[in-house]
Copies of this chain bind each other. A is one copy, B any other.
Amino acid sequence: MKATRHSAHATTNGWRKHRTRPSKRADGPPMLFDLDGTLVDAVYEHVVAWHQVLQQKKIALPCWKIHRQIGLSGKSFLPMLFREIGMERDAAEIKELEELHRHLYMQRIERTRVLPGARELLEHLTETGIPWAIGTSGEPEAVEPMLKLLGVPASAPVVLAKQTERGKPNPDVFFLGAEKLGVKLSGSVVVGDSVWDLLAAQRAKALGVGLLSGGYGRAELEGAGAYRIYQDPGDLLAHLEELGVQEEI
């Protein structure tokens, strides 16, 4: 594959056209990415799948409240929900709800697309030598096809919540991702669409960068400590220098 530099600029359709020229090595902080809402457009399908799960269990929780919990690991989201509706915390019940969600979400997964510029961003980082990894609360079954859509090579470090003891907003998936890259998380950038990613970044003393592509408002991400906010991965790619990335001249 020919190395390219994606000097992106916004076009009118919300996508970006890329001028192609040989890429150069670049210097910059390692980047740890969330997956759903950050690289792939999965948040809204997750919301309606969870809504359906809870309806089947006669639990009334409106979609906007579910939306704000997406990105938390199920281990964190469900116990909180149980407490809120006054149910006993029950490991078997939590497992059942997670199973049902997995089932309903997988029926929708074929409609999930990569977010604008996501492939190009990861390619560009790879080609210019900026280390990057992915840390996600997603289930292996749901993550695998997304990595394929994104063209993520098998060699890229991808950390699932299941591989860590504590899910987001604990920064464990990002710590493990940084470890696999052989870098310090505190010197890295965490890129996410939810406040949970940004809180994880804060806890790890990493720089948090927010994307609007998960449907949070700008001020919500700023309030959670986002250092910079972009629309989507393509918008971030167009502004890489703002994050301290510098190409060799």
Contacts and interface: CB of A to CB of B under 8 A. Distances in A.
Interface of A: 12-15, 41, 43-45, 47-48, 51-52, 55, 60-65, 67, 83-86, 111, 113, 115-116, 212-220, 232
Contact of A60 (B12, B116, B213): B116
Count of identical protomers in the assembly? 2
A86 B12 contact: yes
A-B complex: 4 closest residue pairs judged by Cβ atoms: A217-B217, A219-B219, A44-B63, A13-B85
A48 to B, nearest CB: 6
A106 to B, nearest CB: 15
Contacts of A13: 60, 84-86
Given A48-B44, A48-B45, A63 B215 contact: yes
Contacts of A219: 217-220
A15 B59 CA distance: 11
Given A12-B84, A62-B213, 20 more contacts: A12-B83, A13-B84, A14-B62, A41-B64, A44-B44, A44-B47, A44-B48, A44-B64, A45-B63, A48-B111, A51-B111, A52-B111, A55-B111, A55-B113, A62-B232, A64-B212, A64-B213, A215-B215, A217-B217, A219-B220
A86 B14 CA distance: 11
A226 to B, nearest CB: 13
A98 to B, nearest CB: 20
Contact of A44 (B67, B213, B214): B67
Contacts of A116: 60, 62
Contacts of A55: 111, 113
7 contacts: A41-B62, A43-B63, A45-B63, A55-B111, A62-B115, A62-B116, A217-B218
A111 B49 CA distance: 11
A191 B214 CA distance: 25
A101 to B, nearest CB: 15
A215 B14 contact: no
